[in-house]
């Protein structure tokens, strides 16, 4: 006989969709279970209006409980279009597929299902203290929402992190049905406001009004009561509403809170839905996540032999899904927080940017959903017919890149005495042949003491210059159309370490050389302490950079990038965490910028005027007290004022105790901000792995170029293969003549099987 995870008596705290559905599923799986749900509100109390569920979630519900699925199916309003209204122009994108119903009706369906199964529903009843429930029941499910008292009662175990965001929003409703999911932007004298609206029945729509906190206050909403707020919102968005009024239901302005917990269970207590995690409403995931939590919890309790194993399996299954959703939600809510940044975009590009804001909708799947809309955006972007955005050319000073793909600088640790050898020729040459518009060298060091490791390449001797010239000549001769760029840098306090695969950032066991830096701070415990650079040494360093730049120019490099990121020497001056100087080169950001700008000016003066110069920066240190987003914009503006043609926007690696927020294209928002606030071209980098991502970021206007590292290690012909997979054969991806026979995907054996001709009943 199964023990069903040991959960015979179950208490559920909270009668929202997640808690009710968990109760129904657990009772359906084992009718002998005793399940009690406590809900502090009355059965017909609900504070939202409409709920949107995805086809994926509905499919899971259909398999788990056909009765609930059938009841939902009978109620759903379905539609495909999204309308985006910006500066009086409406653009419609179709093919999206939404299903919604009223939140009150959803709760009624779940109430009916729970009662029919024998679940004990207790409304207008506070649950007993959680510790009492844990002692009296086998399993306690805490589904008591974003303000969960259960979570707070054991905060020392769950270790919740709560982040409040910068917008105020209010849930309202209108007594008519929008014919699409509608986003409308209002530019008022006080700032930007937005409306999110969607139908949830044949005669009603949810309407969410959102704006930045400072706009909300300047507009006077802080001083209005509920009725006055509703009336004001109706007037601001009268066009979207067709002059019809809005209504509320105890609707209060609030700020969204992102909740993350280190743990989701404690003994026989488990968190579910908003008690465990939240995701911004702009991607419609709150109810979806709660229902999916309930499905997973019920399945794990059915599959695992003990309660402990079931709760562990539940968290292991759900945590990665939730983390992915929260990353998408953060991207979406951040986009709306910074909406004013994009108001100057062409209206179609603005609409495309909004649709792809969370990175879950991309250029390719949007093209499948609505090819006409995407084609119109591409025409507005001036893509030649049949040309994906990534294969449009881009000009920097006197250099025109054939496409928007950059092979990101990658340290290979394979030089001998700073001399790049055959390995570098093959490594860089192969990627130039592979179709990228720009191939960047690894960080090339300006002195022997400026190397990270003994295997790092340099450009401080004639022999090194000869070897680099060989690589540049090969690129220009054998990969016509490909440009090759030189990244110059100095390791600073991160030098004299082992090769990456022998112990990254670990000091050499012997043969160390002395280090210099902005301030005498070791990179991490056990690292060598550098000497603080004197004025005379700063002059010497500047001359080392200019001497290397002169050699690079004679080698024929098409572009030069100054490495001011990742905690290396020039980056060490920029960050307040690594620059503790009290002279003219430390203190305020203006002073911390002084030496990097002096080096930039000196290099720009000797670098050929027609060739572009870029700068790589760390736009955040991912550490408290470090470089901020505002600092990054100021740093970019400063380099632009001194003649930088673009900024290569990376992040982190400045301090060892950083806490990056990794995820797909996770550094792109920093490039996006710099591009829109400074007008300077940017190179986005960081976990951009697919050609679909590149097309999406370029077409949305979030970056001008995309730099990819690991994808080019996996596939030196990444760009050519991206062209082939998209059916593109134009000048942005010209196959080398000897390779042209490989420009079509090779045939493979059949993987499909003949379909059955007849289905015979029994």
Using DSSP's 3-state secondary structure scheme, residue 362 falls into coil
Q: Residue 639 has which token pair?
A: 């380099």
Q: Residues for the chain: how many in total?
A: 762
Span 624-636, pLDDT tens digits: 999 999 999 999 9
Q: What H or E segment, with its residue span, contains residue 678?
A: helix 668-678
CA 680/CA 179 separation, integer angstroms: 40
Per-residue pLDDT band at 751 (split at 50, 70, 90): low
Tokens describing residue 448:
């022997």
**What is the end-to-end Cα distance of the chain in Å, rounded?**
32
Q: What is the pLDDT of residue 256?
A: 94
How far apart, in whole angstroms, are the C-alpha atoms of residue 711 and residue 690? Answer: 8
Query: Do the strands 50-53 and 98-102 form a parallel or antiparallel pair, or are they unpaired?
Result: antiparallel
Tokens of 173: 């409703």
Q: What gap in Å lies between CA 457 and CA 620, rounded to an integer?
A: 27
Query: Residues 6 or more apart from 19 whose CB is under 8 A from it?
Result: 12, 13, 37, 39, 141, 143, 144, 272, 273, 294
Query: In this model, does residue 755 exceed pLDDT 80?
Result: no
249 phi, psi to nearest 5 deg: -145, 85
Look at residue 135 and tell me whether its pLDDT is greater than 70.
yes
**Could you write out the DSSP letters of every residue in 411-477?**
-----BTTB--HHHHHHHHHHHHTT-SEEEEEEEESSGGG-SSTT--B-SSHHHHHHHHHHHHHHHH
- Rounded Cα distance between 691 and 703, Å, is 14
CA distance 635 to 657: 23
Q: 194 burial class (0-12, 13-18, 19+ CB within 10 angstroms)?
A: buried
Q: pLDDT band at residue 283, thresholds of 50, 70 and 90?
A: confident
CB–CB of 389/366 below 8 Å? no
Q: Which DSSP symbol is given to 507?
A: B
Nearest Cα to 18, choosing from 274, 268, 258? Answer: 274
pLDDT digits (tens, 9 = 90+) for 202-212: 999 999 999 99
Question: How far is it, in rounded angstroms, from Cα 519 to Cα 446?
Answer: 20
Predicted local confidence at residue 756, as pLDDT: 56
Evaluate whether 9-338 and 389-730 have a shared fold. Answer: no
Name the phi and psi angles at 50, rounded to 5.
Answer: -110, 155
Helix/strand number for the chain, H first, E second = 27, 29
DSSP class of residue 518 equals S
How many angstroms separate the CA atoms of 587 and 568, rounded?
18
Asked whether residue 5 carries a pLDDT value surpassing 70, the answer given is no
Q: Answer yes or no: are the C-beta atoms of 104 and 110 closer than 8 Å.
A: no
Confidence of residue 1 (pLDDT cuts 50, 70, 90): very low
* Average pLDDT of the residues in 188-195: 96
Q: How confident is the model at residue 753, as a pLDDT?
A: 57
What is the tens place of the pLDDT at every residue in 321-340? 999 999 999 999 999 999 99
Question: Which residues on neighbouring strands pair with residue 507, listed in sequence order?
Answer: 497
CA neighbor of 595 nearest in space, from 603, 445, 678: 603
At 408-450, the pLDDT tens digits run: 999 999 999 999 999 999 999 999 999 999 999 999 999 999 9
Is residue 128 within 8 Å of 108, Cβ to Cβ? no
Name the fold adopted by 389-730: TIM Barrel (3.20.20)
DSSP string, 582-631: -STTSSSHHHHTHHHHHHHHHHHHHS-TTS-EEEEEES--SSTTS--HHH
Query: Please, which residues have CB within 8 angstroms of residue 130's CB and are 6 or more apart in sequence?
Result: 13, 140, 142, 149, 150, 153, 154, 269
CA 27, 30, 32, 35 dihedral sign is negative
Q: State the burial class of residue 750 (Cβ atoms within 10 Å of its Cβ: 0-12, 13-18, 19+).
A: exposed
Q: What's the token pair of residue 744?
A: 């079509």
Q: What is the DSSP string of 497-535?
A: B--HHHHTTPBPSS-----EESSS--SSTTSPPPEEPPH
> In whole angstroms, what is the distance from residue 404 CA to residue 682 CA?
11
Q: Would you report the helix, strand and coil content of the chain in percent, each value rounded to 5?
A: 40, 20, 35
Average pLDDT over residues 550-574: 98
Of the given ranges (289-303, 343-357, 740-754), which has the lowest mean pLDDT?
740-754
pLDDT above 90: percentage of residues in the chain: 86
**Element containing residue 385 per DSSP (H, E):** none
Cβ 680 vs Cβ 647: under 8 Å:
yes
Pair 685, 703: CB distance under 8 Å? no
Distance of CA 182 to the CA centre of its chain: 24
What's the alpha-carbon Rg for the chain, to the nearest Å? 29
> Annotated catalytic sites, by residue?
568
Interior CA angle at 286 toward 282 and 288, to 5°? 110
CB 585 within 8 A of CB 538: yes
Mean pLDDT of the chain: 93
Residue 680 makes CB contacts below 8 A (sequence gap 6+) with 636, 637, 640, 644, 646, 647, 674
- At residue 384, the 3 state secondary structure works out as coil
How is residue 531 written in tokens?
A: 């000497």
* C-alpha–C-alpha distance, residues 54 and 391, integer Å: 34
Region 717-732: what's the mean pLDDT? 95
The domain segmentation of the chain, as residue ranges, is 9-338, 389-730
Band (pLDDT 50/70/90 cuts) for residue 761 is very low
Q: Give the span between the Cα atoms of 237 and 748, in whole angstroms.
A: 56
Question: Is the Cβ–Cβ distance between 100 and 199 less than 8 Å?
Answer: yes
Rounded Cα distance, 370 and 84, in Å: 14
pLDDT at 83: 96
Residue 556, sorted as left (phi over 0), alpha (psi -120 to 50) or beta, turns out to be left
Q: In terms of Cα–Cα distance, which of 457, 374, 373, 377 is closest to 413?
A: 457
C-alpha 195/C-alpha 183 separation (Å) is 6
Half-sphere exposure of 598 (CA within 13 A, CB side): 19
- The pLDDT value given to residue 760: 45
CATH 3.50.50.60 assigned to 9-338:
yes
Smallest CA-to-CA distance from 519 within 446, 562, 450, 576 is with 576
The residues pairing with 583 across neighbouring beta strands, listed in sequence order, are: none
Largest CA distance in the chain: 93
Answer whether residue 757 shows pLDDT above 70: no
Condensed to tens digits (0 to 9), the pLDDT of residues 478-527 reads 998 999 999 999 999 999 999 989 988 899 999 899 999 999 999 999 99
Asked if 167 and 255 touch (Cβ cutoff 8 Å), the reply is yes
Residues 583-622 have pLDDT tens digits of 999 999 999 999 999 999 999 999 999 999 999 999 999 9
Extract the tokens encoding 286: 């709150």
567-593 mean pLDDT: 97
Which helix (DSSP H) or strand (DSSP E) does residue 232 occupy?
Answer: helix 226-236
CA distance linking residue 359 with residue 336, whole number of Å? 14
**366 touches 695 (CB < 8 A):** no
Q: Is the pLDDT of residue 57 over 80?
A: no
Give residue-wise pLDDT tens across range 306-316. Answer: 999 999 999 99
Beta-bridge mates of residue 614: 561, 646
Picking from 611, 613, 614, the residue whose alpha carbon sits closest to that of residue 399 is 611
């Amino acid at each position: 006989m199964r023990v069903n995870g040991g959960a015979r008596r179950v208490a559920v705290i909270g009668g929202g969709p997640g808690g009710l559905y968990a109760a129904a599923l657990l009772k359906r799986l084992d009718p002998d279970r005793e399940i009690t749900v406590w809900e502090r509100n009355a059965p017909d109390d609900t504070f939202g209006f409409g709920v949107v569920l995805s086809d994926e979630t509905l499919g899971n519900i259909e398999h788990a409980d056909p009765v609930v699925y059938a009841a939902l199916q009978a109620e759903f309003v379905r539609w495909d279009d999204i309308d985006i209204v910006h500066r009086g122009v409406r653009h419609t994108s179709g093919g999206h597929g939404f299903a919604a119903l009223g939140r009150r009706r959803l709760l009624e369906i779940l109430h009916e299902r729970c009662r029919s199964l024998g679940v004990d529903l207790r409304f207008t009843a506070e649950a007993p203290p959680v510790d009492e429930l844990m002692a009296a029941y086998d399993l306690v499910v805490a589904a008591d929402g974003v303000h969960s008292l259960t979570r707070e009662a054991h905060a020392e175990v769950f270790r919740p992190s709560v982040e409040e965001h910068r917008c105020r929003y209010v849930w309202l409703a209108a007594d008519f049905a929008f014919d699409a999911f509608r986003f409308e932007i209002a530019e008022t004298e006080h700032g930007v406001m937005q409306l999110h609206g969607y139908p949830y029945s044949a005669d009603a729509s949810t309407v969410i009004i959102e704006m930045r906190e400072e706009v909300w206050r300047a507009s006077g909403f802080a001083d209005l009561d509920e009725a006055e707020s509703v009336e004001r919102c109706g007037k601001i968005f009268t066009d979207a509403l067709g002059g019809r009024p809005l209504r509320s239901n105890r609707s209060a302005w609030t700020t969204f809170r992102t909740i993350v917990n280190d743990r989701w269970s404690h003994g026989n207590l488990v968190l579910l839905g908003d008690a465990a995690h939240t995701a911004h409403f702009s991607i419609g995931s709150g109810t979806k996540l709660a229902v999916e939590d309930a499905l997973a919890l019920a399945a794990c309790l059915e599959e695992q032999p003990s309660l402990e194993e079931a709760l562990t399996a539940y968290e292991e299954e759900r945590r990665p899904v939730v983390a992915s959703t929260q990353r998408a939600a953060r991207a979406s809510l951040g986009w709306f927080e910074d909406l004013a940044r994009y108001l100057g975009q062409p209206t179609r590009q603005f609409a495309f940017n909004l649709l792809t804001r969370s990175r879950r909708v991309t250029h390719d799947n949007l093209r499948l959903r609505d090819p006409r809309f995407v084609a119109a955006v591409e025409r507005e972007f001036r893509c030649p017919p049949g040309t994906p955005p990534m294969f449009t050319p881009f000009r920097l000073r006197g250099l025109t890149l054939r496409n928007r793909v950059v092979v990101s600088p990658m340290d290979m640790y394979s030089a001998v005495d700073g001399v790049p050898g055959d390995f570098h020729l093959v490594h860089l040459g192969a990627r130039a042949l592979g179709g990228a518009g720009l191939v960047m060298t690894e960080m090339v060091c300006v002195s022997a003491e400026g190397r990270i490791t003994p295997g790092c390449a340099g450009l401080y001797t004639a022999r090194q210059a000869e070897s680099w010239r060989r690589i540049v000549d090969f690129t220009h001769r054998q990969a016509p159309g490909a440009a090759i760029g030189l990244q110059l840098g100095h390791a600073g306090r991160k030098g004299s370490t082992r090769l990456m695969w022998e112990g990254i950032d670990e000091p050499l066991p012997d043969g160390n050389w002395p280090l210099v830096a902005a301030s005498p701070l070791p990179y991490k415990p056990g690292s060598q302490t550098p000497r603080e650079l004197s004025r005379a040494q700063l002059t010497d360093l500047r001359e080392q950079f200019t001497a290397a730049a002169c050699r690079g120019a004679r080698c024929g490099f098409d572009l030069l990038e100054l490495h001011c990121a990742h905690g290396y020497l020039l980056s060490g001056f920029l960050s307040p965490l690594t620059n503790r100087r009290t002279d003219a080169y430390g203190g305020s950001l203006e002073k911390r910028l002084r030496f990097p700008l002096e080096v930039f000016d000196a290099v720009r003066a000797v670098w050929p005027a027609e060739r572009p110069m870029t700068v790589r920066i760390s736009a955040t240190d991912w550490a408290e007290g470090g470089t901020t987003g505002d600092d990054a914009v100021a740093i970019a503006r400063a380099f632009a004022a001194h003649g930088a043609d673009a900024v290569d926007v990376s992040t982190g690696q400045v301090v060892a105790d950083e806490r990056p927020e990794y995820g797909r294209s996770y550094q792109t928002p920093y490039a996006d901000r710099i591009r829109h606030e400074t007008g300077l071209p940017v190179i986005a980098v960081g976990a951009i792995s697919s050609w679909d991502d590149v097309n999406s970021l370029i077409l949305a206007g979030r970056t001008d170029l995309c730099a990819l590292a690991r994808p080019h290690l996996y596939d030196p012909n990444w760009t050519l293969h991206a062209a082939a997979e998209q059916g593109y054969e134009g000048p942005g991806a010209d196959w080398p003549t000897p390779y042209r026979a490989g420009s079509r995907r090779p045939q493979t054996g059949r993987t499909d099987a003949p379909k059955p001709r007849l289905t015979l009943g029994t």
